Structure 1
Amino acid sequence: MKLLLVDDHQVVRQGIASLLRSMIPAIAIVEVETGLDAVARYGDLQPDVVLLDMGLPDISGLEAGRRIRQRWRGAAILFFTMHDELPMVRQALDVGGLGFVSKSCAPEELAEAVKRVAAGQPYIEHPIATRLAMNVERPVDHRLRDITQREMEVLLMYARGESIPGIAGRLCVSNKTVSNHLAVLKNKLQVSSSVELIHLAVDAGLIRYGQLGEGQRV
């Protein structure tokens, strides 16, 4: 089995790789730290499964997954992330994710998810699957429910301190398009300022204060 592991923290990558090698015989793991690297390496590697984090330093895991699936429709993507908010889970599945597990899952569950997704079978961590089935959302989840995948991408990057021109460059769109997305986000999420938008992203668990960029707007 070939696995492409995408996470921007070296210690995390090494820990996951060591864990999976101990639990899945003959697994070959290639590690990359950015979404753009994942897209660039996928064609050469043709992995059986992509283990993909959401919070990457360039484009988000959502955008990386979308780009991979656009070019390689058969790509098997397993999202593995700190984010377990239902709107984020739904968007991960909407961009073509075959599986979703949180970083708080048991090692055995991660290994099982990797094997299932590599075999082309869907896998969602049990507590998350239960919440999806029962549509159990937190108050902040409800506010995020109606935003699009592109709006979520813009929100994640903006909340991490990326400038409007920086976001536009990464997404290959105009500054005006990004500004329009931010205006729509404020309206949909019922906030009136950039500070409120960032605080909502923190409250929703989409970003943590330690991840805010040095140039973060306040």
Structure 2
Amino acid sequence: MKLMIVDDHQVVRQGIANLLRSMIPGLVITESENGQEALSHYAQNRPDVLLLDMGLPDISGLEVGRRIRQRWHGAAILFFTMHDELPMVRQALDVGGLGFVSKSCAPEELVEAVRRVAAGQPYIEHPIATRLAMNSERPVDQRLKDMTQREMEVLLMYARGESIAGIADRLCISNKTVSNHLALLKNKLQVCSSVELIHLAVDAGLVRYGRMGAGQRL
């Protein structure tokens, strides 16, 4: 089996690689540290499974997944991220993700997810799958449906306490572009202030109290 790990932290990539090699015989692993590199490496290696973090420093994992699925429809993408808010899970599945697990999952569950996705079977970490099922009838704020992936990223980071400069640095865009995104979001989401914007994000389940704060990664 060929696996590609995409994460901007070398220690995370190496830790996952060592874990999976010890539990999946014959596994061949390549690594990428950002979105652009992931797109290039995927074209060269065509792995059986793409283990993809969402919080990359240049192109978001969601955008990487969308581009890969557009070009290679059979790509098997397993999203692997720190945060498991249901709207993010749904976006990951909407762009073509076959699986979703959090970085807090048990090693055995990560291995099972890799094996399932490699076999073309969907896999969602059990607690997340349960929450998805229980919330399937929850009304979705219609204002959120027209948000782009970049707008969702900006809103999530801002609601979690990231500064405008911090968001700009992580997304490799200017402070002015971030400010413009926030102004457009207020208009699109029909709110008048930054506080209302954050409250909307919390009420919609995009972030949870106790999990916001500067420096957190998607």
TM-score when scaled to structure 1? 0.77
Unpaired runs of at least 5, structure 1: 169-174, 213-218
Higher relative contact order (CA 8 A, sep 6+): 2
- Structure 2's unaligned 5+ residue stretches are none
How far apart, in 2, do the equivalents of 1:35 and 1:124 lie?
A: 23
Looking at structure 1, the residues matched to 9 and 76 of structure 2 have their Cα atoms a distance apart, in angstroms, of: 22
Aligned runs of 1:92-171 on 2, under 5 Å? 92-135=92-135, 146=145, 148-150=147-149, 151-155=151-155, 159=162, 160-162=166-168, 166-167=172-173
Do the aligned residues in 1 keep the contact of 2:79 with 2:92 (CA within 8 Å)?
yes
- Comparing 143-152 and 82-91, the one that deviates more: 143-152
Structure 1 position 8, deviation (Å): 0.6
Name the residue aligned to 1:51: 51
CA deviation profile, 1:160-203 (whole Å, cap 9, x unmatched):
4217x9548xxxxxx69x93x5334224284613x875798798
Measure how far apart 1:145 and its partner are. Answer: 5.2
Between the aligned partners of 1:25 and 1:74, the Cα distance in structure 2 is: 24
Q: Is residue 193 of structure 2 the alignment partner of residue 192 of structure 1?
A: yes
Identity of aligned residues (%): 70
SS in 2 for 1:161: helix
Between the aligned partners of 1:54 and 1:208, the Cα distance in structure 2 is: 18
Letter in 1 for 2:207: A
1:4-15 matched pairs, under 5 angstroms: 4-15=4-15
Quote the Cα distance in structure 2 between the aligned partners of 1:144 and 1:104: 31
Q: 1:148, CA displacement in angstroms? A: 2.9
Q: Quick one: distance in 2 between partners of 1:199 and 1:40? A: 39
The TM-score with structure 2 as length reference comes to: 0.77
In the alignment, what sits opposite 1:90?
A: 90
For the aligned residue pairs, the C-alpha RMSD in angstroms reads 3.3
User: How far 1:136 moved relative to its partner?
Assistant: 7.3
Structure 1 residues 191 and 44 mapped into 2: Cα distance closer, same or farther (>3 Å)? farther
Q: State the secondary structure of the residue aligned to 2:3.
A: strand
Q: CA separation in 2, counterparts of 1:101 and 1:52? A: 10
